[in-house]
Amino acid sequence: MYSELVMDHFSNPRNVGEVEDPDGVGQVGNPTCGDIMRMTIKVDDADHITEIKFKTFGCGAAVATSSMVTEMVVGKTLEEAAEISNRTVAEALGGLPPQKMHCSNLAADAVHLAIEDYLTKNGRSDEVPKVLKKASL
């Protein structure tokens, strides 16, 4: 049912917890299945995500997608991180069962919201549409 990579990220999740004094916070939830994901990020002066952590309440696929997205975006610019979609996260994990796509793969959305939060807190809300142009919020 799940790929080895999904099972690895579920059994050994990376970057779990909260970034201390985060620059941006994004939280999403799916009321249908109850998954909740919270991403916290640190951003440097060159707009690179230098640290990202997550807390997820949900199924194994939710934990795995949260873990995978943290590895995909660390070190990337805000624009590069915003290009990551729920589909690319699932593909990076070797796929997810169709019945898990809608309720557990919200990780990229949480990252997008953390980016939006960072830009807004820093008086750059006018940049949100440009940076998140490929995001589906």
33 is catalytic: yes
Distance between CA atoms of 29 and 57, rounded to whole angstroms? 9
The CA-CA-CA angle for residues 80, 67, 120, to 5°, reads: 45
59 is catalytic: no
Nearest to 56 by CA among 118, 94, 92, 104: 104
Catalytic residue among 5, 7, 33, 36: 33
Catalytic residue among 7, 16, 92, 103: 103
Query: What is the signed CA dihedral for 126, 128, 133, 134, rounded to 10 degrees?
Result: 180
Distance between CA atoms of 121 and 33, rounded to whole angstroms? 31
User: Active-site residues: which are they?
Assistant: 33, 103
